[in-house]
Amino acid sequence: MPRAFFIVFSLLFCLEGCAIAGNTVINPVPLGQCCVFDARFEIQRYPRYPHDHVRAFPRLLVNQDRSRTLVLPGFPEGGYRITFEPLALRAGRVYRFAVSLTSTGTVGVTAEVFAGTKKLASEYASIIDSGKIELVFEADDQPVPGGGGVIDVLRRWVNGQKAVHVLKLWVRSKQNVWINRIALLDDKGHSVVSGHRALLLPDVALGVYRRGQQGQMRLLPAPDQIPVDYRVEDVSGEIVKVSPLDGERTPSQVWRIPLPTGQSGYFRILVRLRDQDGKEEYVKRAYVVVEPVRLPPKRRRFFGMCTEEEGLTDFVPAVATADDLYRLMRDIGVGSVRMFNPAMPNELSEDGVHYDFHALDAAITTAHKYGMEILLELGSNRLSRLPKWLLTSHPGEETIDLRKGMRFDYQRKAFEEKGYDKTPYLDLEKYRSYLERLFAHLGSRVKNFEIWNEPGHKFLPEDFIRIVRITREIQKRYAPDSRLVGFSSTAYPMFGHGRRRGEFPGFLEDMLRLGGGKHVDVISYHSRHAFNFLGKEDWSDPLTDYAVRIRKLLNKTGYENLPLWDTERGVPWSSDDGRLDRLGADGGPVAWLKPFNLFEPARQMPKIYMQARSQGVKRVFWFNWFPGTQNIARSRVRESLFDAGLEPTPAMYEYSRLHVSIQ
């Protein structure tokens, strides 16, 4: 077995009223994001949609050995997720997790470790009796005493990347449970982290301020560091403010740094710290100041936003509720929101009989509260995420063989890993029942429905037209005033990558040939793929004419009256030159060394929005609100309004200014 190399961080959860002996409580730090050693944590509650977020306000304790511990109030029964920023791991080394629990009754515990592009690297599950127990996830084949399990987070390297991104811990119990510690330990139980890094935290959700709003950054220095001074830079690197930081560092002190918010823009604050040996370090964080948009709701409809599955779920800190997020979207001018996953069948029902619409209803209510018109995705974003109750092993007239429409190996692999190759047929009668339950429940509350996301990647045209006809029939019966949107066309067969430049997306042509145009009210397309479709060298050229080409096809086939919506507009993937760089002869550690140019894509945003407007596109949904993964080197972070560390990008500021140039 490879020689062990470990990193330590510890986290204490405690129910309200629990005595904490021998520790001094320092100033509260709102959790969302908080640092214990060099890991930034977020805590959120599942189910995944954040309308039931528990607002956690922990206490940060400085122990006698200068380690730090978070103490949180008690949580209701349920699942909770702990995430942290990517940790660079050395190749060929083994990492261990340990969790300490105290419970007053039998408790179920599940831990999952994700690596790479959020692929499950390892998992552990156990049922334990009441009492205190240490669960050590060993990297060998022998369970440890006391109910431990086997886990090796590097046994399966994902996509050649060796970095842990997410630890999910589920605790299920009807009794009180204390989560005493979560740790990465070396073989002696000591920390091998090189220094306890400082952390900057904004005092508003996700670091986006309204112009003139009073703002502060909370600075948590490492135990042996003293802040020296700080400066604030604008997007061009010009210094906006410089100020010394005076005062003596004490264990109970959190430094509060006032932020200049008198003008809108993208800013970075850099704080200089000095340790006892005179060594200096800078800690920095981005923040954005926006001028709230004062457009009436109808004039904001053109400006849409995609909230992909991770967009309002996986990476939202507990202090950022759905209410916070929608208020922010409204303030930067968003008038339409494309909800990616709350209506997917696997989110609504576990058996196809009993449905839970609570999360969907809460999302709709919040969106309407802030004047948003909703575009709701129907079906599943991935075939491997279809619930088993929609599938059958028996072919028939009312089934679709899903294997025929899969265009890519990764789809087949995911399908087979779920065991779906044994039940590969979509049962259309059960799918019809899903649509009926959904539309009957929603009534007239949702105005727009998109029939699956990018179905050209998943279905043959002659199969998908059957789904379209069923959807139209049910929509006319339950929500006749709503609109059906299709078919989220992309480059054919998928991205293109310049290999088949100039070839028009064939799936859209086939759907129109089969009469699909008469079953939808809006034609949707994804222009972010169009840049690859046209060729890599054209990615920054706003004149792709993708919408013009689609309009010509609609005119040619008799559907000239159908409006166009761009339901995924973003920076094209072909411009993504970020990659993992490796240091050392052994290929490790992995580090994010390739700088990502977030400024050029942000500057392109007004151009490509104006292009869409000039070509008659009626709505444009920016992709994406949050990045789809925390892996910076693989993420679509260039497109997102927040980066993989949940800091606002220059695109946040540029989006807030679109209404000025585009009326």
Note whether residue 641 is domain-resident: yes
- Are 460 and 548 within one domain? yes
Over residues 353-364, the pLDDT tens digits come to 999 998 899 889
pLDDT, position 506? 79
The torsion defined by the Cα of 638, 639, 645 and 650, in degrees rounded to 10, comes to 80
Rounded average pLDDT over 157-169: 48
Is residue 545 pLDDT above 80, yes or no? no
Element (H, E) at 95: none
pLDDT attached to residue 559: 97
Same domain, 258 and 128: no
Last residue of a domain, one of 290, 306, 334: 290
Q: Is the pLDDT of residue 153 over 80?
A: no
Q: Does 562 or 406 have the greater pLDDT score?
A: 562
Is the domain of 433 the same as that of 488?
A: yes
How high does pLDDT run on average in the chain? Answer: 70
**Which tokens belong to 265?**
């823009």
Q: Is 5 contained in some domain?
A: no
**Rounded Cα gap, residues 345 and 342, in angstroms:** 9
pLDDT at 335: 96
Whether 18 is covered by a domain: the verdict is no
pLDDT mean over 1-29: 24
Strand ranges for 381-533 from DSSP E = 391-392, 399-401, 425-427, 448-451, 483-489, 522-525
In contact, 611 and 543? CB cutoff 8 Å: yes
Whether the per-residue pLDDT at 554 is higher than 90: the answer is yes
Q: Where does the pLDDT of residue 85 fall: very low under 50, low under 70, confident under 90, or very high at 90 and above?
A: very low
61 shares its domain with 135: yes
**DSSP SS3 for 414:** helix
Q: How many structural domains comprise the chain?
A: 3
| Confidence class for position 256, pLDDT limits 50, 70, 90 | confident
pLDDT of residue 56: 39
Strands (E) in 335-438, as ranges, are 336-339, 373-378, 391-392, 399-401, 425-427
Residues 117-123, mean pLDDT to the nearest whole number:
59
Is residue 370 located within the same domain as residue 443?
A: yes
CA distance 405 to 422: 16
Q: Do 337 and 217 lie in a common domain?
A: no
- For 275-303, the pLDDT digits (tens) are 888 888 888 889 999 988 888 888 899 99
* Domain at 170, CATH number: 2.60.120
Judge if 313 and 374 occupy the same domain. yes
Residues 6+ apart with CB under 8 A from 148: 134, 135, 136, 137, 138
Q: Is 8 part of a structural domain of the chain?
A: no
pLDDT of 337: 96
**Domain boundary residue, one of 251, 267, 290:** 290
Higher pLDDT, 451 or 581: 451
Check pLDDT > 60 for residue 477: yes
pLDDT digits (tens, 9 = 90+) for 416-434: 888 888 899 999 999 999 9
Lowest mean pLDDT of 244-258, 392-406, 575-589, 637-651, name the range. 575-589
Question: Does the pLDDT value for residue 517 go beyond 80?
Answer: yes
The reply to whether 395 falls in a domain is: yes
pLDDT for res 266: 94
Tell whether 228 and 244 lie within a shared domain: yes
Cα 443 from chain centre: 29
Three-class SS string for 592-652? CCCCCCCHHHHHHHHHHHHHHHHCCCCEEEECCCCCCCCCCCCCCCCCCCECCCCCECHHH
| Mean pLDDT along residues 480-499 | 69
Give me the percent of the chain exceeding a pLDDT of 90: 33
Q: Provide mean pLDDT across the span 514-525.
A: 97
Residue 20 resides in a domain: no
CB 175 within 8 A of CB 131: no
Residue 13, in any domain of the structure: no
* Residue 23 included in any domain: no
Residue 139 belongs to domain spanning:
34-184
> How far apart are the C-alpha atoms of 199 and 37, rounded to whole Å?
9
When computed from its CA atoms, the radius of gyration of the chain, rounded to whole angstroms, is 26
266 with 368, same domain?
A: no
Q: Which pTM value belongs to this model?
A: 0.71
Is 572 in the same domain as 505?
yes
Band (pLDDT 50/70/90 cuts) for residue 108 is confident
Question: Per-residue pLDDT for 498 more than 60?
Answer: no
Is a pLDDT exceeding 80 seen at residue 92?
Answer: no
Least confident of 273-282, 316-325, 437-446, 542-551: 316-325
Asked whether residue 471 falls in the same domain as residue 607, the answer is yes
Of the residues 290, 308, 328, the one at which a domain ends: 290
How confident is the model over 491-499, as a mean pLDDT? Answer: 40
**What is the CATH number for 216?**
2.60.40.2550
The predicted pLDDT at position 394 comes to: 94
165/207 same-domain check: no
